[in-house]
Amino acid sequence: MVKTMMQVNCHICNKPKFIEPYRMRNTKRFFCSRKCQFYWQTTEEYKALHTKNKKTIAIEVQCSYCQSSFYKNPNSLGKKNNFCNVTCRNRYMSEFSDKYNPNPSQPRITTSCLQCKYPLALVSSLFTKNKHGNFCCKECYFSWRSTNLIGKANAQYKRTSVPCDNCQKLISLPDYKLKNNQHNFCCKHCYWIFRGKHYIGQNSYWFNRKRPDISEQSRTNILKMYKTGTLNRVSIIQKEINTLLERLGIEYEIEKTFGYYSVDHFLTEYNLIIETMGDYWHANPNKYRIEDLNKIQLKDIHRDKRKQTYIKKNHNVDVLYLWENEITYNLILCEFLIQKYILNKGGLKDYHSFNYWVEVNSLHLKKNIVKPLWIH
């Protein structure tokens, strides 16, 4: 879109100029340049128009470099020099830098980096500003600070030495911990020893108080989520047994709940239970010793023992345990063992798959019976 322009003449030199039409509404005089505008401000016409408003009138001054005359507002006059344009100003500064330099160079002080001893030349303001010393870079500063401004040397250090309430060893604690703590301890071991001595009987928090049933409700909710499938914890070996049971035409239910426990496979027609056991999580006795188990494995085998005892005592069912090694490398053994488990209505000489072997499509029990670690 092409803009519509109108031609007007300069009020001073009568030079033609093109402007937008909207500028014709309120403007009576037009100027081709600032030079003509400043010249008009020196005329009697301008003085007569602005006498009532007492506005500033431009005056004629001389350029400090090229000596040419130009008009300038009195409020913007320089104290020593005035220039008609930027070019004259820059040329004057380059030729007379000694006389006219708003930022003259300051003398520098020779020093060195406090960390790496690199030579430095600093102005006096920077030299006196640094409290601890001068550094060539941030890396040197932080490296020096990490070894020198630590502990009590740090400005933000606010700690108090108090004795441990159990062993009387002096420990340094921040002020906010001293305000909130009734007792102070150097380690958890001292805390539990002190608690065992003083927070028992009537001094115990739970004395004559009923504990909330939070753990009971939490356990019930988790079992419901396992049963509905909200929490899906089906392992690879459990999927293998699912496929095997489907191939054998045996109906089953996964994550069937018995009180506080859930089982991997519940054979609905025979009222029997099959558990798939991971070698690591349930500590296969052929791979692990009881003294080598970590906290997670010990916790799992204690749970296995409780589950086996609960199901046998309350539901009179002997659980068949199929272990990861046999499921992965000898699935035919698991098939024969499941068929024998159902045929004998849950009665077996041993209920762990690692105590059996297959020969000529026949299932045999090993002579040396290995017991799971939760029986030890």
Domains of the chain (ranges, CATH numbers): 6-95 (no CATH), 108-153 (no CATH), 159-200 (no CATH), 230-375 (3.40.960.10)
- Report pLDDT for 335: 94
E strand or H helix that includes residue 358: strand 356-358
Q: 201-221 burial by CB neighbour count: b if 16+ within 10 A, else e?
A: eeeeeeeeeeeeeeeeeeeee
- Report pLDDT for 123: 84
Contact yes or no for 301/292 (Cβ under 8 A)? no
- Report pLDDT for 315: 92
- Report pLDDT for 201: 78
- Report pLDDT for 310: 92
Q: 46-62 burial by CB neighbour count: b if 16+ within 10 A, else e?
A: beeeeeeeeeebbeebe
Over the chain (376 residues), the average pLDDT of each successive run of 10 is: 82 89 84 86 76 64 87 78 85 74 75 90 82 87 87 76 90 83 89 87 73 61 67 82 93 87 91 94 92 90 92 93 94 94 92 92 91 83
